[in-house]
Structure 1
Amino acid sequence: MTLDLRIMLEVILVITTVYLAAPILVVLTVSVIGLIPAKVAGGPGLLALQRARKESAGSTAIALPAMMILTIVISLVAAMQAGSIGGAVLSLYPLKADVMATSLDSDAQNRNPSDLIGGMPEVRDFVTYQTQQWAMEGSPGQTATVVWEPAEQLQGQKVQSSPSIHFSFVQGNSSDLGSDRVAVNQDSSYSIGDTVRLLDRHDQPHEVRVVALVQSPEGIPELSAGNNYPLFLTAEDDLPQLGEDAHTIIPISAVNPRDAHGITSRLKSGLQGDFAVQTRQEYIDDFIQRGLSGQTAMTVMIVGGTVLALIFMMQSIAISAWERKRQNQRLNQIGVTWRSIAWSGVMETLTDVAGGAVMALLGIAIVEGCIALSFVQAGMSMALTPVPVGRFLLVTVVLLLVAVFTSWVCSLRSRKAEEG
């Protein structure tokens, strides 16, 4: 079972358990939380507590939509983030490089930091890759990543089981490469002997022939054949560098992994901002953040689920307010002001919503624990567990504000109906 599927099933199990226990837990939670307004607000607060305890069905009807928003939406968001994080980390594992240096713009292409890196005694191995995006003739909108590697670096890649951070040749070898002859990622649809026409930034075609199949270095997603886009490997000067979106990528292996921070600091100072230099952990964290930033589906799900549950909650508050109409009239007749009655209704509604929020918080805490346990069992750090505190607090505040507004409006309408 994959990590994301396992996490999602655990979340569904927790949510189901919370909702099955809701009818009992709501009454207990609301009764405890109701002690706060009873102590702080005097008579209206005491009336709110008494009503909340008696009207368990009404309390549940108001608390359940709050739980729906908080438990389901926030838990599923956490699960989706956890799945994305898990997938990202697993796609980077094992990241063989201890330090990653990537050019920040095309101008850095003209700067070769090989002498600086090669002069560091802490560096065991490094490779300089230059990448560009080329259009593919006959495939509108499809691009291919072309990677150049110095010829002297390619010569050491004949052993497929080499523990280095180089490309591994699956079929063919580096001596087969030459002018307009390239290797292609083994995950692509091309085979040895195929001819491909690539278009440079001037829309001029360049015909290349596939002479070898290679496997990308593990843990370097920029060099992978993602989205089924082919990745072509060639040596310097074998193909003119006339593509677009040029970058230089330099994975570096340290003699001792503990030297990674020292190498990173020296390169940042020596390269003066032309390259982003990151340790393995910094690189992974940055990759995860970039992957999560594009997930707009989460926002749509949060907004849609919140609006739907808010409607349910407002309807429940309105029904509860109209059901108390006769009781409110009797209270007014014995001397309780309409203002106190209205504030009592507001505090009762707040108590119900707060009870649902507390129950949701407990359920979300269990979900977070399940995600953290899944990460640990998958060999990842517990610190990667997504904790959507900001979303939880924001949605809770929205719930409370809407509850106050709805309850107050319903109380005023009830008063006007009685006076009319």
Structure 2
Amino acid sequence: MPDSLAAWLVYIESQHPKSIAMGLERVQQVRSRLQLDFSFLLITVGGTNGKGSTCAMLERIYCEAGYRVGCYSSPHFLRYNERVRVSGMEADDAALCAAFTAVEQARGSTPLTYFEFGTLAAAWHFVQSGLDVLVMEVGLGGRLDAVNLFDPDCAVVTGIDLDHMDYLGDSRESIGFEKAGIFRSGIPAICGDRQPPASLIAHARGLGAELQCLGLDFEHQQRHLHWAWMQGDKVLDGLSQPALTGDFQHDNAACVVAVTQALQARLPLSVADINAGLQHVQLAGRYQQVGQRPLRILDVAHNPQAARALADNLQRQVVNGRTLAVFAMLQDKDIGAVVDAVSAHIDVWCIAGIALPRGASAAFLADTIARHQPDAVLHVSANVTQAYASACQQAAENDRIIVFGSFFTVADVMRVLVHDQTTG
């Protein structure tokens, strides 16, 4: 057996010839051998964008109410431990190694992908942890994702857009069907997309899920300093503004409140608990401000829908100087549509390739940007770290630097920031 978390991560990455292999049969076999049955409530969260924010709000709200809460999310930025949390605290290396050992002993000759292995290990850890409620973020799609092994007590699908089309299909209808695979008969199914695909609605109704859609079955309304959530005759008023930046976060927060109300009889909460959770929630890499003069912001926006939300935040935040973008993306994303969404707000592009099989080269990014924004000012660097250094060198005090395009892009800059903090 590997003798450290780092060794385990190298090991599990080599256990399946593909990084992504859709299907639940192999994972279900190992789950059965592990006898992974949850005695606590489970909330699963899928969707194209907004999953991380929704999970973070749910986790914080139930923690504020005094419940013992588990949360499973992906990907991570700096430490694998970020993916597995209990009561807001990351699982330590020893706990994760114990969980990986349990999965390896049960796996036998069954091949598992990195994500499948990690999902089973997280589930095993949560079973040992004596939870009241667990929030699990779906990794890819829904219907065939490893998280969908576990039957939820409430399932959420946030916004739906074109992403991972090689696996989920090339239309919102096909993607909506895959996302709706996390719904179950007779349980609350919350949808945060204001124009949900017909396939999602049909699948939910065919199952007999208790579908509740934002804008149709529940809604939110802004007041002067607070906001209100409405569902039929029920109104929760005086709700705190979410600590996460962006008007779109109110749609995510409205879905979160819908979950809390659907589970209120089993996990009672007060409005004060909800407000405390909304006020105290934190989530790295979602329009996260990490420095001043120049203003520096990290955002993982990596598809057109997320890029439009980023553009909205950039427009609303008034700055007196230029905006410099540190930009790198994966090749299999819709890079042109992302550039179109944000180009009106970018004065200087500092670009780099991502040194991964799926990474887009700097040359490809430069060509794409030039085609979509012919007058773009471009600076090409060998890697993201150097692109960030270039942006910092060029930026004046009143300028703004936005780092975006991928979790990998943001993670590279986070490492620079951590190094700068530790070295003074």
Q: Normalising to structure 2: TM-score of the pair? A: 0.20
Bigger relative contact order, structure 1 or 2, given CA contacts below 8 A and separation 6+?
Answer: 1
Which has the greater radius of gyration? 1
Q: Normalising to structure 1: TM-score of the pair? A: 0.20
